Chain A
Amino acid sequence: MTHTACGALIETRDLKKIYPMGLHKIEALAGITLSFAEGEFAGLVGPSGSGKTTLLNILGSLDAPTEGSAVVMGQRIEALSHKEAARLRNRHIGFIFQTFNLLPVYTVYENVEFALLLLGDPPAVRRRKVMAALEWVHLADRAKSKPAQLSGGQSQRVAIARAVVKEPNIVLADEPTANLDAENSHNILQTMERLNRDLGTTFLFATHDPKVMQYLRRKITLVDGRVETDEVQGGRP
C-alpha cells in the first residue's frame, strides 16, 4: 500500500476548488488541509453547499482541484491524466452513491463482478470474490436478480458489494443513506462498519444524515468550503 510521506492514505493541503459561474466565481473549497490514515471510518458533514461532495469527488479523482494538492495512495490527483485517474479509481477506490447507480441491464452478480472485470481477474477468482462480497451484504440469494427487482436497501447493499469486492483501500460514500428508511440505513451502516473492521478498508462519507453521524469515528464539519471542526468520536454508541 502506498502512503504519503507522513504515513497518511489521503492528504490534502490548502485544497481549493473554484467554479466559474458566468462573471462570478463560486469557491466550493476554500483551502482544505486534511489527512486520513488507513482504516479510518470518517465523515464529512455539513449543510448543502458546504463542499462535502466536491471534496469527495476530488479525493476520488473524479475531479481536479483548482489550487492546492491532494495526494491519494501516493498519487497527486491534480497531476493525473484521465487514464491515470481511471486506473487509480479502478484499483484503489470504491464508490457508493446516493442513487445506488447500479447498471440496470446487469444482474446483481454481474454488477458486482463488473469492477473485477475491469481489473482483469480470471473467472474463477471473480466468482469467488463476487460470492464472498454478496455474502458480506447478505444478498447471495439475489445474485440473479436485476436491480429493478430490488428494494432501495438491497440496491444500496449491492452497491456496497460492488465497491468493496475489489478490496479497495478507500471507499467513498456520498450520502449513502439519503434514499433509505431508518431500518435500511442502519443495516447499511452496520454492514459498512463491519467491512471496515474486517477488511481494514478506509471509509469516507459525505453526509448530513444524523444516523450516519452516529457511526462515524471521525467527524469533519465543513462550512462554506472550510473545515470548521475535526473531531474524533467514539463511533456507534
Chain B
Amino acid sequence: MTIPKLALKNLLGAGLRTWLNVFVLSLSFVLIVFSQGLLEGMNTQAEEAMVASEIGGGHYQHPGYDAYDPLSLIDAHGPVPEALAVLAASGKAAPVLVIQGTIYPQGRLVPVLIKGIDPTQAILNIPTSLLGATPAGGEIPLLLGERMAKLSGLKTGDGVTLQWRDSRGTFDARDAVVVRVMKTSVQTIDQGQVWVPLNRLRELTVMPGEATFAVLAQGAARPADGADGGWVFRDRDYFLADLQAMVESKSVGSSILFAIFLALAMLAIFDTQVLSIFHRRREMGTLMALGFTRGKVIGLFTLEGMLNGVLAVLVAALYGVPLLSWMARNGWALPGDTDSFGFAIGERLFPAYGFKLVAGTTLLVLMATTVVSFLPTRRIARLKPTDALRGRLT
C-alpha cells in the first residue's frame, strides 16, 4: 500500500497543479464522450427513424425493382404473392406500388415517384390514414413531405395536376389535393415523391392487386421459402448499409477530434511528469536511500501520473454525468436545415451514451494516461541515487 498511498498523497499535495491537470483531462474525457455520444445518438436516431418510417421489418421487393434505377420502375410491379397478401390482410405487411409520374404545381413540371400505400396500414410511421377519405371534389388525396412541399411550393389544401402512365403505356392525369404536408426526418420517404391511396393508384394505373414491394411489420415472421413468389427479401442491414457507411465516414472526423482532445490532455500530463521528475530528483534520492528500488520509484511516478486519469474520471463523473444526462434527456436543438448532415435526425439530436462508449473511453483515457506517465519515468532507470540526492539527473 506504500506506493499507492504515497502516489495519492504526492498528487493531492501538488495542489492546484494537480487539479488543473485533472480538470483539463476531465474536460477532454467529457468532450470525447459527448462527441462520440452525439455520433452514436445520430446513428441510433437515424436508424430508428428509418426503421419506423421506411424499413419496418424489411422489404419484399419485386424482382425487377431497383431503387437506384428509375427506369426499372416501368416493369417493377406485379401481383402481390399470396403469402404476402395474407400477411397484408392481417396487418403484418404493407404493399407499396411505385410508379413514375409528374406533378404540375403552378404550371411547373416536377417529376415524382408516386407511391401507393394502404391508408389503413400501421406498419410505417406515415400519416397514411389521411389518404383514406376522398376529397369533396373527388380529387386524388396526396400526402407529401416537407422537402417535397418546399421543392414544389405546395402546401396543405393546394390542388395540383398529377400525371402518370398506366400499365398499357397510356398517359393519364387527374387533379389531386394535398391533404397534409408531413414532417419527417427520413428523406427517402419525402424527397421527390408523393403518397396516394394504394387501391386508387392500382385502379388508375390498371394494376389490380399489384405492388412494387411490401414492407414487413417489425417482428413479423417471413413467409416460408418458395412462398414469396420470387420476390427478393431485403433486410434492415441492406437498407442501413448506406447509413452505416456514412456514420463510418463521419466517425473518422470524430476520431480526429477525439485524438486532438486526448492529445491535449496527455500533453499536459506528460509535461507535468517531466517537470515533476526534474524537480523531485532529491526526493527520488531520498526514497532510494530509504530502500526504494529504481523500479519502485518508477512505479510511484507512473502511478502518480495514472492517478491523474482516475481523478479526472471521478471529476468528469461529478459534472459530466448531470450535464450529459441532461443533454440526453433534452436533446440538442439543431439549427435550420439538418439535411446537410445527411442523417434522418429530426429537429433535436439526442446523444446516446452507451456502457460500451463510457467504459471504452474510460479505459482508453486511463491507458493513455498510464503510457504518457510512464514514458518520462524511463529516465529514472538510469538515475544514480547519489546524483539524485545531489539534485542531479544522471
Chain A positions near chain B (C-beta within 8 angstroms): 57, 60, 62-63, 82-83, 86-87, 89-91, 95, 97, 99, 101, 103-106, 110, 114-115, 117-119, 162
Contact = CB atoms under 8 A, between A and B. Distances in A.
B293 A82 contact: yes
A145 B285 CA distance: 23
Interface of B: 1-2, 6, 9-10, 12-13, 282-283, 285-286, 288-294, 296, 384-386, 389
A91 B291 CA distance: 8
B386 A63 contact: yes
B88 to A, nearest CB: 75
B385 A62 contact: yes
B288 A101 contact: no
Contacts of A104: 13, 283
| Chain A interface, DSSP helix/strand/loop, else mixed | helix
B289 A95 contact: yes
18 contacts: A60-B289, A62-B288, A62-B385, A62-B389, A63-B385, A86-B288, A86-B293, A95-B290, A97-B286, A97-B389, A101-B282, A101-B283, A101-B289, A103-B6, A103-B286, A105-B9, A105-B10, A114-B2
Given A63-B384, A87-B291, A118-B291, A101 B2 contact: no
A115 B385 contact: no
Nearest to B385: A62
Contacts of B9: 105-106, 110
Contact of A57 (B10, B13, B290, B386): B386
A91 B290 CA distance: 9
B389 A101 contact: yes
A115 B282 contact: no
A186 to B, nearest CB: 25
A104 B10 CA distance: 8
A165 B1 CA distance: 20
A86 B287 CA distance: 10
A87 B293 CA distance: 8
B267 to A, nearest CB: 25
A117 B386 contact: no
Given A62-B386, A97-B286, A103-B283, A89 B10 contact: no
B290 A89 contact: yes
Please name the 8 residue pairs, one residue from A and one from B, whose CB atoms are nearest each other, closest first. A90-B291, A105-B13, A101-B286, A62-B385, A86-B293, A105-B9, A95-B289, A117-B2
A99 B2 contact: no
Given A101-B282, A105-B10, A115 B389 contact: no
Contacts of A87: 291
Contacts of A89: 288-291
A57 B289 CA distance: 10
Contacts of B285: 101
Contacts of A95: 289-290
B10 to A, nearest CB: 5
